[in-house]
């Protein structure tokens, strides 16, 4: 027996006149089905709290409600058969900034392996980014072993874009699952 886990479907207006569906997954004591695209089998996972999942341009984006460090956030994404978000272009960056709504979210880019060489969680090299600047020192500024990145910082609303921060900080995160 299948349970409908999607409610409150919201149309998100896109500049291309194409409508994308945003889905709020509601809190439930039941299990949700998660299709494992690698094996084409269904698995059951208990739903612990209200989660938000948004569909945009052939990917599902999960926005966490809790906060964890970068490694723990990535592990959560991997357990969901996804990974921390990889932002591919300006449209996706604008989409992320819109859904982030001035909240800080981990993204899947780090220079922890080699200082100054930013790589995405999938191992690909960052070729262009959307780093913030405050008019003085542009990001990434590498202060205090800042090897991971978040979408923005609430206490710096004038900064729009990514900011490098210590990987041990606790922030919300965005997982991306391409379909």
User: How confident is the model over 22-40, as pLDDT tens digits?
Assistant: 333 322 222 223 434 344 4
Mean pLDDT by 10 residues, the chain (179 residues): 41 38 29 36 40 87 97 98 96 91 93 93 93 80 87 74 94 96
**Torsion angles phi and psi, residue 94, rounded to 5:** -65, -40
| CB-based contact 25:52 (threshold 8 Å) | yes
pLDDT of residue 51: 58
pLDDT of residue 154: 67
Q: Which domains, from first to last, does the chain contain?
A: 6-178 (3.10.100.10)
State if pTM tops 0.95. no
Residues 22, 9: Cα–Cα separation, whole Å: 6
């Amino acid at each position: 027996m299948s349970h409908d886990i999607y409610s409150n479907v919201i149309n998100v207006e896109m500049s291309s006149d194409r409508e994308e569906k945003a889905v709020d997954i509601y809190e439930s004591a039941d299990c949700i089905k998660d299709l494992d695209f690698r094996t084409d089998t269904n698995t059951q996972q208990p739903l612990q709290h209200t989660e938000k999942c948004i569909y945009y341009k052939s990917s599902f984006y999960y926005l966490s409600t809790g906060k964890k460090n970068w490694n723990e956030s990535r592990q959560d994404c991997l357990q969901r058969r996804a990974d921390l978000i990889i932002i591919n272009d300006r449209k996706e960056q604008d989409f992320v900034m819109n859904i982030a709504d001035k909240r800080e979210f981990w993204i899947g880019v780090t220079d922890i392996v080699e200082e100054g060489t930013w790589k995405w969680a999938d191992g690909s090299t960052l070729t262009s980014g959307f780093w913030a600047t405050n008019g003085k020192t542009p990001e990434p500024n590498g202060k205090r072993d800042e090897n991971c990145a978040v979408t923005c910082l609430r206490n710096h609303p004038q900064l729009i874009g990514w900011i490098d921060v210590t990987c041990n900080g606790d922030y919300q995160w965005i997982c991306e699952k391409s379909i």
